[in-house]
A and B are shown apart, each in its own frame.
Chain A
Amino acid sequence: MHIAVCIKQVPDSAQIRVHPVTNTIMRQGVPAIVNPFDLFALEEALRIKDRTGARVTVLSMGPPQAEDALKKCISLGADDAILVTDKAFSGADTLATSYVLAAALRTLHEKQPLDLVFTGKQTIDGDTAQVGPGIAIRLGYQLLTYVSRIAKIDVQDSRIVVERRAEGGVQVLESRLPAVITMLEGTNTIRFADMPGMFTAARQQTQHWNREAIGITDLTQVGLKGSPTVVAQVFAPKPKAVRALRIEGETPAAMAEAFVDKLFTDYPQLEEALLEHLDQLAAQEQQS
């Protein structure tokens, strides 16, 4: 069994600051990490590997320094790492990204047939959740998004049963391999790298694949040229016109009382609605 896990190296968005004058992102000193959502995908693949001895290949499209993120995945237990990197790929939106990743996955499939492709639910920098579906469509694989549990995999029979988070409930789906799975967050806990894993990661070479290596000849499909969406403007979020009214009070109790009084004096309809809401809740409770 062969599993590919697509990952992305992202800036740790919790630590990003915007330059107050130039209004641009200050990347200096912001650590690059493996997209946290992708780690749930990797862990799920590694669990299948633990059970079945499947081969796990991690794959990423990105600049040369994204190799660090791939090495991290090797230290956790992935068997191979491939960095898909080429100057022509830069500036790609999700459509152009899925084109390149699909080409790389096809190349990988030729070397050893793929049964499953995992991605995270979305990235923390782009937040789009579009690349997973894009890959599935381009490869003609079944798409299983927001998977919270893999209930069954039968490689012989090419069947898979998963639980998927849908609106208002969980869908249990039976599908066919190969499939693209985007893994829901919080569904497993990523393991820690052990010493042998770290040594392997330090030793092992990451393969670099450029556009020739994955058979891309049409440059209108990749990078900025292959991206229908373009960023036309970047701006700071609009500041809210009102500045908060400071509530005074000697003690917490006095401050709380002053606040509640002021709030319901300013917004009498809020108090009315709140009382009605509480009445409804009480009525519901009585019923059940």
Chain B
Amino acid sequence: MSELPAKPVKKPKRVLPERFVSYKGVWVFIEHEHGHVHPVSWELLGKGRELADKLGVELAGVLIGAPGPKIAALAGETFAYGADLCYLMQDAVLHDYRNQAYTAAITTLVNTYQPEILLLGATTQGRDLAGSVATTLLTGLTADCTGLEIDLADRSMLSSRPTFGGSLMCTIVNLATRPQMATVRPRVMPLPVKDPKRPGRIVEHAFDLAEESIVTKVIDFIPDSRADKPQLAFADYIVAGGRGMGKPENFDLLFSLAKTLGAEVGASRPAVHAGWADAERQVGQSGKTVRPKFYLAAGVSGAIQHRVGMEGADVIAAINVDANAPIFDFSNYALIGNALELLPALQTAFAARLAQTRARVTRSAPKEE
């Protein structure tokens, strides 16, 4: 990657219409399904806090769902993660996520309380909802942002995102409509530190659509059995393979090493396209964004498409026969050699080392019984 200075931000001349000038505050949509908040919502509260502080406005969580003790508890959690207030809309109609009902709920809240920024997670729910809300409100929406900043000169949000499959980054602005909307992928922003004592206030607003007016009905929900689906996005240890793995059978070497490390197996786009690995395992711009403690890339060239999905890893090691492979530009360790030979060797080395450390720890700290 060339180290070119970025061209300066060049904004088109657009004036914010008078009716939007009073729009204030940063909102984060709190996504929850079946009682679980998607962690991306807390990550967004962390980022939202930064933006709100810079603008000198309040940060709000937006919580929509069926009434009950669960949702009230979630409101408290939004404060712990940094929100000053929480807009709460509870109604039995909102029990399951449905596009029509949730779009109506959010647009009502936006039109009533008028925020300048609205952030959502780039999940299946967040993207479904964001596109519908933005079109209903006729406002701008930027998908899959990796960076959000405030330009204090005009209070606009600068949303950065990868474009053209990650070959380039671009900064997008929305100067003449409000709210400025953006979706952000899970694990792109760090999880903020939780402060359970942080106070906040709840603003409740009634939902005014009856069940009869919601066309689509949820007739069943089939949860993924955790065992047979890779949980890549939240894995702390990942070993990934690319085109350099040569053929599908060679992915067995990765699965074998993964077992030793308790890791998930990831794959680059070419490997997934070649059918060597399941699409669920794809890491990168058109796959998953991961943020593991340790990421090992074997036979991955390091195309930007892959890089944007994994460069947030704490420690990255890469195996490649080509010493000039771009992957080494953003790895901590370079193992230059044949992945098919190195992977079994690594498995042996890791197993030996871990067994040794475990033995030493047990010896030096005998059990108290």
Contact = CB atoms under 8 A, between A and B. Distances in A.
Given A124-B286, A247-B335, A13 B164 contact: yes
B333 A232 contact: no
B136 interface: yes
A23 B7 contact: yes
A234 B170 contact: yes
B164 A169 contact: no
A235 B6 contact: yes
Contacts of A244: 318, 328-329, 331-334
Interface in B314-364: 314-315, 317-318, 323, 328-338, 341-342, 344-346, 348-350, 352-354, 357-358, 361
B262 A173 contact: no
A274 B305 contact: no
A283 to B, nearest CB: 12
Contacts of B317: 259, 263
Contact of A174 (B216, B329, B352): B216
Contacts, number: 312
B142 interface: yes
B162 A237 contact: yes
B168 A277 contact: no
Nearest to B159: A229
B18 interface: no
Interface string A14-49: 101110110101000000000000000000000000
A95 B124 CA distance: 19
A231 interface: yes
B330 A239 contact: yes
Interface string B268-301: 0110000000010000011000000110000000
Given A94-B141, A252-B342, A259 B7 contact: no
B330 A228 contact: no
Nearest to A224: B12
B103 A137 contact: yes
Interface residues of A, number: 90
Contact of B1 (A161, A174, A239): A239
A20 B9 CA distance: 20
B116 interface: no
Interface stretch (B51-59, B93-101, B189-197): B93-101
Given A93-B140, A133-B128, A275-B354, A233 B6 contact: yes
A239 B3 contact: yes
A247 B337 CA distance: 10
A267 interface: yes
Nearest to B132: A133
Nearest to B96: A171
B31 interface: yes
A242 B318 CA distance: 14
A136 B128 CA distance: 11
Contact of A173 (B168, B219, B224, B307): B219
B333 A259 contact: yes
Prevailing SS type, chain A contact patch: mixed
A61 B356 CA distance: 63
Output the residue of A126, A165, A256 with the most chain B CB within 10 A: A256
A176 interface: yes
Given A128-B143, A233-B8, A262-B333, A256 B346 contact: yes
Contact of A229 (B174, B293, B344): B174
Interface string A243-258: 1111100011101110
B7 A235 contact: yes
Contacts of A264: 353, 357
B11 interface: yes
B38 interface: yes
B165 interface: yes
Output the residue of B96, B130, B136, B220 with the most chain A CB within 10 A: B220
A202 interface: no
A137 B133 CA distance: 9
Contacts of A11: 164
Contacts of B352: 257
A21 B2 CA distance: 8
A243 B304 CA distance: 16
A178 to B, nearest CB: 11
5 contacts: A14-B269, A143-B128, A172-B221, A173-B218, A274-B294
Given A171-B218, A228-B138, 12 more contacts: A13-B305, A14-B305, A134-B131, A167-B124, A170-B224, A232-B158, A232-B172, A237-B304, A252-B341, A253-B345, A257-B352, A261-B353
Interface of B: 1-4, 6-12, 14, 31, 33-34, 36, 38, 96-100, 103, 123-125, 127-128, 130-132, 134-136, 138-144, 158, 162-177, 215-224, 236-237, 261-262, 269-270, 279, 285-286, 293-294, 304-305, 307-308, 311, 314-315, 317-318, 323, 328-338, 341-342, 344-346, 348-350, 352-354, 357-358, 361
4 closest pairs, A vs B, by CB? Answer: A133-B131, A13-B165, A228-B140, A235-B6
Interface of A: 11, 13-14, 16-18, 20-21, 23, 25, 93-95, 98, 124-134, 136-138, 142-146, 161, 163, 165-176, 185-186, 227-237, 239-240, 242-247, 251-253, 255-257, 259-264, 266-267, 270-271, 273-275, 277-278, 281
